[in-house]
Amino acid sequence: MAEVLTDLGMKEILTQLGIEDINNGASTGGHWFNTRGEKIESVSPVDGRVIASVNSATEADYEAVVLKAQEAFKSWRKWTAPARGEVVRQLATKLREYKEPLGKLVSYEMGKSLQEGYGEVQEMIDICDFAVGLSRQLHGLTMHSERPGHRMYEQYHPLGIVGIISAFNFPVAVWNWNTALAWVCGDVCVWKPSEKAPITSIACQQITKEVFDANGVPEGVSGLVIGGADLGILMSNDKRVPLVSATGSTRMGKSVGAAVGARLGKSLLELGGNNAIIVTPTADLKIVLPGAVFGAVGTGGQRCTSTRRLIIHEDVYDTFVSAIVNAYGQLKIGNPLDENNHVGPLIDQDAVDMYLKALDAAKAEGGNILVEGGVLSGEGYESGCYVKPAIVEAKNEFQIVQHETFAPILYIMKYSGGVENAIAIQNNVPQGLSSAIMTGLIKDSEAFLSCSGSDCGIANVNIGTSGAEIGGAFGGEKETGGGRESGSDAWKVYMRRQTNTINYTDDLPLAQGIKFEL
């Protein structure tokens, strides 16, 4: 590994996680390959310092990992589901032990607040706990047959290799959303993490290895390949990978979906969001304010569920806008490992450039800047990745508003008349991930949740758009991709469905009363 950041305690963290000497970017879970691909430097957006360098995986490395995964699947699928669940239970226990160092590494490598870093590891623990219970509930249905002496039922079998392509903003949780469920279902996994946050993926692989080795889990059940888009392309076109779960931009998802679809594979896509909060005349300011502000600036506006638009009724528009503008004046921007700060950095300079271009575009289209943005410089901001959360009074039809900008820019707009007008504005974007309404009237909330209400995969009442509990299925519609991860019955995507009919008589009656006699 490259630089040792002793003053920040990073050396101790890397040592505690067992990754201080690992600089290779491919693993089968049993051992690390001596990868010789392009060197990737993980640069912390917190202070611009290099955490470590990793040699990326090559096509040959990818091939070796996939072959090992295929071999592991043959035996792993024969483990009982509760036995696989027991391994995942132990992983949850191990994650509890490593929550502090892993959470700090997430915060430092990605740039989210320390509490959000801890929260992300907690999500991993929660989904493991969910999966343990699930391991005893992988149920099918029993149906009555129209033929006497016959029984019909359905069951679910593991698919095989699940390919996981994850994004930088949740560098560990989204991986575990997929793996915890896939593993109890009997699948094996190959993970291509974001090259912007590779060190956390190495830490996850080592923690997993510790548990898997202790339980005799076949090598190859947890594979890892670190590298650029070329590895994602390989995975998307690989017929040996029946399911590719991809999290990222809509542009990336369309590419993955087209490649997987062309070979008639399955894809689970979690893509862009353009999330709105509707504020009705009966909304409670003390609920709206924290919900909207955290939704817009939490994780530096780099969540797929971040609040991008605030649609406020004209009767309360001035009051609510004034309160939110005032709240922005109290935000503390700085090192995310300092729990006194509300907003950390963007992930890198490309993200900063995208943020600046979006503000310029909003101004060019006639947007009114209510809270000025800009890049911060000086002591504590040496990385160049710290920006000011901005508020722009805009119209929903602006081109820039129609697109997702992964940055803390909040567009505010006004609506008049009934709640149906606000819902129409909210739905009039290509994305359909998360949505929320703030109201004191049940008729408004029910209209919002009805079949003619929000067209998003997530619709909340009197809470913000950002964040989700693992118990519910997570995902969205339209250009968000239609995928569902995490809770509810999302497990079914990781399995193949089979209908079975058993004849326990000495005759062979045919369905639909068909007669065929020899």
Residues marked active site are found at 270, 304
Q: 486: which strand partners?
A: 473
How many Å apart are CA 127 and CA 136, to the nearest integer? 15
> Tokens at residue 219, please?
């090598």
Return phi, psi of residue 331, to 5°: -70, 140
CA–CA gap between residue 331 and residue 260 (Å, rounded): 43
**Tokens 């929000």 — which residue?**
454
The span from the first CA to the last CA of the chain, in angstroms, equals 75
24 and 199 in contact (C-beta within 8 Å)?
no
Question: HSE on the CB side for 302, CA within 13 Å?
Answer: 25
- Please name the residues in contact with 330: beta carbons below 8 A apart, sequence gap of 6 or more: none
Task: Render the burial of 355-390: b for 16+ CB within 10 Å, e for the rest.
Answer: beebbebbeeeebeebbebebbeeeebebbbbbbbb
Which tokens hold the place of 203?
A: 């830490």
Residue closest to 48 by CA, chosen among 279, 473, 383: 383
Q: In what order do the strands lie in the sheet with 495-503?
A: 142-144, 150-158, 495-503
Q: Which of 97, 181, 178 is nearest to 132 (CA)?
A: 181
User: Can you say how many angstroms the Cα of residue 114 is from the centroid of all Cα atoms in its chain?
Assistant: 18
Cα angle value 18/21/24 (rounded, 5°): 105
Residue 285: CB atoms within 10 A of its CB come to 13
Strand partners, 163: 190, 244
DSSP code, position 305: T
CB 418 within 8 A of CB 452: no
Residue 296 token pair = 């817009």
What region, left, alpha or beta, does residue 380 occupy, with left being phi > 0 and alpha being psi -120 to 50 degrees?
Answer: left
Output the furthest CA–CA distance in the chain (Å, rounded).
91
Q: Name the DSSP letter for residue 492.
A: G
Token pair of 265, please? 């594979």
Look at the chain and count its residues: 518
CA 396: distance to chain centroid?
Answer: 26
The two three-digit tokens of residue 230, written as one number: 């070329």
